[in-house]
Structure 1
Amino acid sequence: MTTAVPSYQEITDQNGRVYRVGESPHDILGRSRSWMVWLPWIAMMAVSVFEYGWGAVVDTLKDKNGWTLTDAFWLASIWAVFQAGIAFPAGRMREKNIVSAKTAMLAGAVLSGIGYVTIAHTSNLFVAFLGYAVCGGTGAGLVYATCINMVGKWYPEKRGARTGFVNGGFAYGAVPFIYIFSAFLTPTNYSVVLDLIGLYMLIVVAICGFLFKDPPKSWWPAEVDPLGWARNKSGNKGLAKNPPAVKQFTPMEAIRTGMLPLMWVCLVIIGGVSLFGINFQVPFAKESGFGPFVAASSAGVLSIVNGTGRAVVGWVSDRIGRRQTLTIVLVIAGLAQFGVMYAGNTKDLPLFMIFAFLTGFGGGAFYPLFASLVPDYFGENYNASNYGLVYSAKLFGGVGGGGLAAGVVSAWGYTGAYILAGCIALLSAVLTLFLRQPGRATPGTTSAADKASSLSPAAEGAG
């Protein structure tokens, strides 16, 4: 009797981290791992209309249903709470094999569809909260978290650009709908239009999710030496600037490093600023006298740049470092708030569009950077939970960028709101300067583990 030889081997580095190598994507998926980039990207585009299309649809809903501005944006805020809040519990269930990626995506497809069908057929604010904010938010959150974690697991050695590309779909996927809402949506046709969008999300996300599959824990592509980067022999610039985590941190271990809570605080702040820009740029443009088409165009520019910027910064972060790129992006996001305010108040249309561009870039590019930093710092095996914890910051950022921001606008006007947004965005940029990879020596020094790597024959021949 013969025993089948495993198609993989486990390599252990000097820190005790295990890398499972030898299995190709075709062995696991039956196809190229690029499918786990394209399918998440398509699904993210399908649900993007929730967040990035709301500012364009809200006027019609207010007129039809008799809602106030505050009512409408509290609806968006509670949607953001559930969209972000589902990430951690869903991640834990996936890591415990209670729920598969496919199941999470199929559930997300159904709940997302319910969200838009609900607001298509009710003017009751309570029902809208249940259907759109709770069900729609949970559905979009399941899709978002599953897609982001999926691409990070399949590309552990070069996740920056690919995570940014997939994440970008969550922004520019809404552009066609922004124009549809602004140009054609009326109280007489909105039910049919919103029903069709709900059906579109259901079908597209369900088809993509049906093909989702996670790699085995600790999986690593066989063609990339997971140990070579430490000896400057890997030839991979991304790994040199963003080395793999020293171990697979559980959520509690990640929290105890202090770095995960710091990421969470940074994301609370900048997440609120981002949602403020998404929600209020169209209303501010209209108040500034730019007209509905220009207002829609500014929102379209914001969404396109928000999405494409995510892919660009992912690529840049692979070359200059994730944390350094994050700080630059947050500074741009902060300064752009002051620019939008000035251009709107002076009714300078070209300048307004320029700063709409910068707001879009700075207000979205940080999301894939956090999504890549978390597995860079804490490993891939518990990434669904660890990133779920960090992304839960949007629970609070969503409230700040929606309902609370509406209150600030009512009390201080758009000028006061944009000044506040700019200041706190710059605070978030300052806080990122304190981020450090747990257990890794800072540049210019050598950790005990790295010394062991260069001195120990066993470490040199591991695997």
Structure 2
Amino acid sequence: MTTDGTTGERSGGPAALPYREVTDARGRTFRVGETAHSLLGMGRAWMVWLPWIAMMGVSVFEYGFSSAEDTLQHVHGWTLTESFWIASIWAVFQAGVAFPAGRLREKDVLSARTCMLLGAVLAGIGFASLAEVSNYVLAMIGYSVLGGAGAGLVYATCINMVGKWYPENRGARTGFVNGGFAYGTLPLIFVFSYWFHPSDFRVVLNVIALGMLVVVGVSGFFFKDPPKNWWPDDVDPLNRGRSVSDARAARRMEKNPPAMRQFTPKEAIKTGQLPLMWVALVCIGGVSLFGINFQVPFAKSLGFGPLVAASSAGVLAVVNGVGRAAVGWLSDYLGRRTTLVLVLLVAAGAQVGVLWSGQAHNEPFFLIFAFINGFGGGAFYPLFAALVPDYFGENNNAQNYGLVYSAKLVGGVGGGGLAASVISAWGYSGGYYLAFGIALLSALLALCLRQPGAPRGKRSPARALAGSKTA
């Protein structure tokens, strides 16, 4: 559609449009003039708070399972390896649904609201199946397949929603929403550690499933995507510093400039950067899930009491979540790639720290390194989520991030079922040293990331956009 750059009127017609489209010197188009309230009926901050609440609603899938697995093994007769294969296949479907759901969403086959409501139903069914089904195959279908797909729909929709509504400041807000996926499960970790027994496990699991259905369903009912190329009306996309808020946005975009153009999934793959992100996320995603799945069993194997075991899991979940928000904010000012490399190095060091402090039976240091492991083991997720639209644009972000996030398909298997096999063969020492090496590899890969089409050298986006024009 052609629009007048000043009045926003249709070419050849009198009907005034509520927006205008401006184009920078490289051809990147921005749709400006529409307020979030005119599009949503409420402020765009709701597209942070509601996804955050929904993410907390499904967080127990990933961060609570290890605390519940002892009782589940006992009542269902599963081995340690069998129970963690359930967690691994859950991660496969949770990550695998992101790309096809994103494609259907961006083709207008599914709306964001529909994805959330469907996710709420599937997630509820998945968690209830742990209570009602002892057959291993049926439990795998219910929890891992249906529950994983439901949690994946919620996760992917929430993360993409924030990036679309905050294209100029996505780091901090994406990190905040992503954090809910970790610390939201904190109360349930202690429930599983102290009040989750064979006598009452069905009641506990069914109540959690019902709460998940209600929280996610109600939050998701209000979800709505912005139009393609939408940009907030109070921020100058050409970095001309029209106001104080524009000046702050310009400083953030100096470190994280908008994508050079809108890349389709095929185009993003051809740049080589999306595959590089995928491999890096495979590596660190497996390390993260290894820590989530095995920190409590490791603590128990050392003879630490249930308070230390539960506290280490609780610390991991809280710091994992708070760390996501913190690094999201930090990346707005230090740069996304620089922050990502630092986080990956911290994650690598934490693996050795948890192992050494545990083997030394030093409970205070074990909790400290659980703190560090929690930070490094989750803070990378919002950074990848923000890097994808930074590199490839917002219009196809649901698909592009879905492709990158599919790395968890491989990482989930490595951090769950395969890791259980490694520990059975090599012990916890072998498992933690292997995780250390893999995390280092991920940091090296992240160092190679470059924004596609960006000019070489240090050039200010404001200067690069000098001479920009309105379409």
* TM-score, normalised by the number of residues in structure 1: 0.96
SS of structure 2 residue aligned to 1:11: strand
Report the equivalent of 1:104: 115
Q: 8 Å contact 2:254–2:460 — kept in the other structure?
A: no
Report the equivalent of 2:257: 243
Measured against aligned partners, the alpha-carbon deviations of 1:36-59 in whole angstroms (never above 9, x if no partner) come to: 000000000000000000110000
Looking at structure 1, the residues matched to 470 and 15 of structure 2 have their Cα atoms a distance apart, in angstroms, of: 23
- Which AA in structure 2 matches 1:427? L
- 1:160–1:229 distance in 2 versus 1, CA, 3 Å: farther
Q: 1:289 is matched with which residue: 270, 278, 303?
A: 303
Looking at structure 2, the residues matched to 117 and 229 of structure 1 have their Cα atoms a distance apart, in angstroms, of: 54
Looking at structure 2, the residues matched to 391 and 446 of structure 1 have their Cα atoms a distance apart, in angstroms, of: 30
Q: 1:427 is matched with which residue: 441, 445, 457?
A: 441
Measured against aligned partners, the alpha-carbon deviations of 1:103-127 in whole angstroms (never above 9, x if no partner) come to: 0000000000001110101110000
Q: 8 Å contact 1:92–1:384 — kept in the other structure?
A: yes
Measured against aligned partners, the alpha-carbon deviations of 1:391-441 in whole angstroms (never above 9, x if no partner) come to: 000000000000000000000000110000011101100111100000011
- State percent identity of aligned pairs: 65
1:213 aligns with 2:224: yes
Q: 8 Å contact 1:230–1:450 — kept in the other structure?
A: no
Report the equivalent of 1:374: 388
1:230 CA drift (Å): 11
Measured against aligned partners, the alpha-carbon deviations of 1:137-160 in whole angstroms (never above 9, x if no partner) come to: 000000000000000000000000
Q: 8 Å contact 2:320–2:374 — kept in the other structure?
A: yes
1:310 aligns with 2:321: no
Looking at structure 1, the residues matched to 155 and 463 of structure 2 have their Cα atoms a distance apart, in angstroms, of: 36
Q: Which deviates the most, 114-123 or 38-47?
A: 114-123
1:239 CA drift (Å): 1.0
1:52 aligns with 2:63: yes
1:223 CA drift (Å): 1.1
SS of structure 2 residue aligned to 1:246: coil
Looking at structure 1, the residues matched to 193 and 166 of structure 2 have their Cα atoms a distance apart, in angstroms, of: 38
Q: 8 Å contact 2:21–2:470 — kept in the other structure?
A: no
Q: 2:35 is matched with which residue: 24, 32, 36?
A: 24
Q: 2:423 is matched with which residue: 378, 384, 409?
A: 409
Report the equivalent of 2:342: 328
- Which AA in structure 2 matches 1:19? F
SS of structure 2 residue aligned to 1:438: coil
Report the equivalent of 1:154: 165
SS of structure 1 residue aligned to 2:212: helix
Q: 8 Å contact 1:229–1:243 — kept in the other structure?
A: no
Looking at structure 2, the residues matched to 445 and 219 of structure 1 have their Cα atoms a distance apart, in angstroms, of: 25
Q: 2:402 is matched with which residue: 365, 388, 396?
A: 388
Q: Which deviates the most, 433-442 or 104-113?
A: 433-442
Looking at structure 2, the residues matched to 434 and 423 of structure 1 have their Cα atoms a distance apart, in angstroms, of: 18
Looking at structure 2, the residues matched to 356 and 277 of structure 1 have their Cα atoms a distance apart, in angstroms, of: 9
| Structure 1 unaligned regions, length at least 5 | none
1:187 CA drift (Å): 0.7
Q: 2:74 is matched with which residue: 56, 60, 63?
A: 63
Q: 8 Å contact 1:281–1:299 — kept in the other structure?
A: yes
1:445 CA drift (Å): 5.6
1:255 aligns with 2:269: yes
Cα root mean square deviation, aligned: 1.7
Looking at structure 2, the residues matched to 207 and 352 of structure 1 have their Cα atoms a distance apart, in angstroms, of: 39
* TM-score, normalised by the number of residues in structure 2: 0.95
- 1:207–1:229 distance in 2 versus 1, CA, 3 Å: same
1:122 aligns with 2:133: yes
Looking at structure 1, the residues matched to 106 and 458 of structure 2 have their Cα atoms a distance apart, in angstroms, of: 36
Looking at structure 2, the residues matched to 445 and 48 of structure 1 have their Cα atoms a distance apart, in angstroms, of: 41
| Structure 2 unaligned regions, length at least 5 | 1-12
1:450 CA drift (Å): 6.5
